Amino acid sequence: MPTETRLADGIRLALTTFTTLPVRAGRVDRAAAGTAMALAPLVGALLGAVLGGVLLLTGALAPPLVAAVVTVGLGALLTRGLHLDGLADTVDALGSYRRGPAALEIMKQPDVGPFGVVALVVVLLLQSAVLAELAGRDALAAFAAVVAATAAGRLAVGLACRRGVPAARPEGLGALVAGTVGWGALTLGAVAVALAAVPAVPDRPWQGPLAVLGALAVAAGLLRHLVRRFGGITGDVLGALVEIVTTLSYLGLVLTG
């Protein structure tokens, strides 16, 4: 497959996987999937730019908490709520203390259990609280924080799809993307996201990179546990990592001391 064709297919797949943009579907295979997962941080940065703009615009017209909730809600709408759904399903499976196929069966259930509900409430409240704090800060810092945290969440997908990490099922999104991302793409993505986070805390330029890289380190440890419990990654696991890393990055960006 020509490089240009693979790149175009990967871009389309990245946009349709991580956003609701009405993009015409292209070829869907492991080559395109690897490109899409490697480009996930870039799509996250673009989504973060939209959300950051909404936060600043709404914050100029309404109280910070209102602007924060609107931004969080819009983020869910622009991603079809898929990452939140993945978070709920993954936490429900973890809370069951089951392993392998039994845990995967719980993840496939259409309903959300108590563990999943609590996880959703905590994550949405934390994100709203942090965005409310950011809405009262310098505009450039707030914008950079939203861009960096949203991009970091998508970089976690590439981390989970790196070579050597298996899929939990022989079918589904996990099987399509598992093991498709090389360390070169991950390193480049991590450096780009860390640099994007520098303006998020102007008086402490080290805090932004440390926040996103620390969140990714937590995700790497969690990923090992999830692979042991489930046998590999699934689409739900990817969604859970997006929300967890985004939330942890936000928290790291607003910590003071």
- What pLDDT tens digit does each residue of the chain (257 aa) get? 556 676 888 888 888 888 888 877 677 788 888 999 999 999 999 999 999 999 999 999 999 999 999 999 999 999 999 999 999 999 999 988 888 889 898 888 888 888 999 999 999 999 999 999 999 899 999 999 999 999 999 999 999 999 999 999 988 888 999 999 999 999 999 999 999 999 999 999 999 999 999 999 999 999 999 999 999 999 999 999 999 999 999 999 998 75
Question: What are the pLDDT digits (tens) for 205-255?
Answer: 999 999 999 999 999 999 999 999 999 999 999 999 999 999 999 999 998
DSSP three-state, residue 167 = strand
**CA 138 to CA 144: how far, in whole Å?**
10
Distance of CA 230 to the CA centre of its chain: 20
Question: Which residues 6+ apart lie within 8 Å of 226 measured at CB?
Answer: 90, 94, 233, 237, 240
The single-letter DSSP state of residue 166 is: P
Question: Which residues 6+ apart lie within 8 Å of 240 measured at CB?
Answer: 83, 86, 87, 89, 90, 91, 226
**CA 218 to CA 222: how far, in whole Å?**
6
**CA 54 to CA 180: how far, in whole Å?**
34
Residue 162 φ then ψ, to 5°: -70, 160
**CA 236 to CA 163: how far, in whole Å?**
19
Structure tokens of 47?
């989504």
